[in-house]
Amino acid sequence: MNQLSDYHRDRVQAVLNACPLVPVIAIKDPDDAVPLCQALVDGGIRVLEITLRTEHGVRAIEQVRKAIPDAWVGAGTVTSIAQYRQVESAGAQFVITPGVTEAILEFGVTSEAALLPGIATVSELMMGYAFGYREFKFFPAEVAGGRPALKAFAGPFPDVTFCPTGGINRTTAKDYLALDNVKAVGGSWLTPADAIAEKDWGRVTDIARQSLTGL
């Protein structure tokens, strides 16, 4: 079994240390990708998770990487090796999965884009741990046990840190970040659908700034 290198762990840690909030971004109109991400960056966000929940995700990653080189730009909702290769080719600097398979964990060990694997259970965590992963996405956070679950994970796995995502909002983000084993929190409240539909980029910037200030 191949083991995760220090390079990959350093990359993931750099992403999680860059910003405590990670917006979950779903691009429905390709023309929105750059202005939406720029609005988030203008509000202080330094990590952009562009998901593959729509057909425009891969192209958006490519566009945003070129337009906003100072931000960490990665891919979310990656569920297969084929998608992993696609987003790597598009320039994704990191990859986040909603869950794990042994194949994805093994691919992430040698990939150019560092992997933050998604887990919901201790068994999944242990699978990733065996490959050398120590940073995980906890998803869906609220459904899978929320803060009490993360507190419980800290006992047997004191060297593991998390980025919980799923059901977290601006109010509860602070509570998650108060946990010693939480480095960052992901959420879609930073990219409200109505603001995007109205192309109200100023509102997106305000939400990002206020969310960071409230931590």
Read off the pLDDT of residues 148-192 as tens digits, 9 standing for 90 and up. Answer: 999 999 999 999 999 999 999 999 999 999 999 999 999 999 999
Whole-number average pLDDT of the chain: 97
Distance CA 159, CA 181 (A): 8
- Residue 1 binned pLDDT confidence (cut-offs 50, 70, 90): confident
174 catalytic? Reply is no
**Percent of the chain whose pLDDT exceeds 90:** 97
The per-residue pLDDT for range 71-104, each reduced to its tens digit, is 999 999 999 999 999 999 999 999 999 999 999 9
Non-local CB neighbours of 126 within 8 Å, separated by 6+ positions: none
For residues 1-27, give the mean pLDDT.
95
Taking each helix axis from N to C terminus, what angle separates 33-42 and 57-67, rounded to the nearest 10 degrees? 50
118-119 sheet: strands from edge to edge:
118-119, 135-138, 161-164
**Percent of the chain whose pLDDT exceeds 70:** 100
Question: Is residue 40 pLDDT above 90, yes or no?
Answer: yes
Q: Are the beta carbons of 39 and 202 closer than 8 angstroms?
A: yes
Q: Which of 28, 49, 102, 198 is catalytic?
A: 49
135 catalytic? Reply is no
pLDDT of residue 2: 86
Question: Is residue 205 pLDDT above 90, yes or no?
Answer: yes
For residues 20-35, give the mean pLDDT.
98
CA angle 116, 172, 195 (to 5 degrees): 80
pLDDT of residue 52: 98
Considering only CA atoms, which of 209, 214, 124, 188 is closest in space to residue 162?
Answer: 124
Considering only CA atoms, which of 90, 27, 29 is closest in space to residue 63?
Answer: 90
Q: Are the beta carbons of 201 and 38 closer than 8 angstroms?
A: yes
pLDDT of residue 29: 97
- 3-state DSSP call for residue 167? coil
| Domain 6-118+183-213 fold | TIM Barrel (3.20.20)
For residues 8-25, give the mean pLDDT.
97
Distance CA 53, CA 41 (A): 21
The per-residue pLDDT for range 42-82, each reduced to its tens digit, is 999 999 999 999 999 999 999 999 999 999 999 999 999 99
CA angle 179, 183, 185 (to 5 degrees): 90
Q: How far apart are the first and last CA of the chain?
A: 40
Distance CA 215, CA 175 (A): 9
Cα 183 to chain centroid, rounded = 11
- 3-state DSSP call for residue 2? coil
pLDDT of residue 25: 98
Non-local CB neighbours of 200 within 8 Å, separated by 6+ positions: none
The full set of domain ranges for the chain reads 6-118+183-213
**The two three-digit tokens of residue 69, written as one number:** 């080189």
Q: Which of 62, 88, 135, 137 is catalytic?
A: 137
